[in-house]
Amino acid sequence: NGLMQSVDGLSLHPYVHCRGWRRNTPEAWIEWMSEVDKDLTRAAGRPVPLYLTEMAWPAHQGACGIDESLQAAYLARQFLTNLAEGIPRSIWYDWANDGSNPRETEHNFGTVTEDRKPKPAYLAARTLTSVLGRTSFARRLKGAPEDHFLVFEEASVEKLAAWTEGAPHP
């Protein structure tokens, strides 16, 4: 009924942690977001800015859970991918765990524990902010499909963020 022509932006909460192996990663998520972006652009007849006002992977024991190290890696990969894809705002849910039960999904989304001790995800976010905080995304470098190389610039200084979805390799 013409609603899409009046939309200034769309807030999304794309939780993918239970989508299954290889469909629950930051890289698979951005493919889904690209499809959403195309559909919205087509429906509105123009680009519609997307804002991620909640996104995260819970570090818990049980169905769809990951460990804290992988949560930290996913946080970094998600924010880097968002910057490269031009997503202007991304908000990680949640800053602090909501409880102490390691098997409860809702207790374990945080970047810090319920008693405010930093988890690896907090350290990853702090590192990203301190290293890339004043840079701008410049370009992707080509590599194998499972390898990701993002160049960020500040003045004449380039910084490279790199990771692989595959087996570790030089």
Share of the chain above pLDDT 90, in %: 60
Neighbouring CB atoms inside 10 A of 56's CB total 24
Q: Which helix (H) or strand (E) holds 147?
A: strand 147-154
The stretch 119-124 carries a mean pLDDT of 98
Query: Would you say 131 and 159 are in contact if contact means Cβ atoms under 8 Å apart?
Result: yes
pLDDT at 34: 84
Q: Which two tokens stand for residue 32?
A: 């889904």
pLDDT at 17: 78
Residue 22, pLDDT above cutoff 70: no
pLDDT digits (tens, 9 = 90+) for 67-106: 999 999 999 999 999 899 888 778 999 999 999 999 999 9
Query: Would you say 93 and 100 are in contact if contact means Cβ atoms under 8 Å apart?
Result: no
pTM of this structure: 0.89
pLDDT at 21: 62
pLDDT at 143: 93
Residue 16, pLDDT above cutoff 80: no
pLDDT digits (tens, 9 = 90+) for 105-115: 999 999 999 99
pLDDT at 51: 84
The mean of the pLDDT values for the chain is 90
pLDDT at 12: 83
